[in-house]
Amino acid sequence: MRVLIADDHSLFRDGIVSLLEAAEFQVLGQVGNGEDAISEARRLQPQLLLMDINMPKMNGLEALKILKEEMPDLKVVILTVSDSDDDLFTAMDYGADGFLLKSLTADEFINLLEGLRRDEIAVTRHMATRLLKRGKGQRRGGSRTGMLTAREVELLKLVATGLSNRAIAQELSVSPNTVKYHVKNILSKLNVQNRTEAVAIALKQGIISNNSPSKTL
């Protein structure tokens, strides 16, 4: 797996490089801030980006959001000292493929990254429990559409008109892959199987107006 590392501590980056190379990951490069993480990801096209949160110029969460919209197939794992629920939940809402603490042992770290090859999320059991409890709490709250970001709501309104992914991409000036990524997130957050069910829930919750009849989805 081809890896890019983004962290503002060069000594830590060097240690991660050694660890990854020993585990036969291919390290393409390392950067020290969020802006460089974006530019180097665009240039190097890694399969995996390991990124800290607190970095100069642009933090890791901001960079994550931008990169996931542009490169939805890029796996991004947050590697941080922050054990904050806000950081964990925001990272996952922005599409992170994992959230790992720097206090992990080397074996735990590598094992969790290896799971990415099997499309597993790189989180510890403790982190997974916190995410599960959050999901249950949101479901008890009654409004699953409250879990959607403003961009996802905007996109869902276009889905309700019957537009294809390509047409939605043109409307929002993004790539069809970005639309596909957002639709996948919407279905996951709403716990539904298809676009029709997602629109039905949004209509019921008043997120989407039914003034204009929807086309067949």
Contact residues for 122 (Cβ-Cβ < 8 A; gap 6+): 77, 97, 98, 99, 100, 112, 113, 115, 116
Q: Is the dihedral of CA 20, 25, 29, 32 positive or negative?
A: negative
Question: Position 16: which residue type?
Answer: I
d(CA 64, CA 89): 13
- Amino acid 216: pLDDT: 34
More confident residue, 106 or 152: 106
Residues in the chain: 217
More confident residue, 24 or 93: 24
Task: For the full predicted model, state whether its pTM sits above 0.75.
Answer: no
Confidence of residue 210 (pLDDT cuts 50, 70, 90): low
Q: What is the pLDDT of residues 156-170, one digit of tens each?
A: 889 888 888 889 989
d(CA 155, CA 159): 6
Q: Is the pLDDT of residue 207 over 60?
A: yes
Confidence of residue 212 (pLDDT cuts 50, 70, 90): very low
CATH number of 2-137: 3.40.50.2300
Q: What is the pLDDT of residues 44-61, one digit of tens each?
A: 999 999 999 999 989 999
- Amino acid 51: pLDDT: 97
- Amino acid 145: pLDDT: 52
CATH number of 144-204: 1.10.10.10
* Domain ranges across the chain: 2-137, 144-204
What is the mean predicted confidence (pLDDT) over 109-117? Answer: 91
What is the mean predicted confidence (pLDDT) over 7-23? Answer: 94
d(CA 179, CA 86): 25
Q: What is the pLDDT of residues 19-28, one digit of tens each?
A: 999 999 999 9
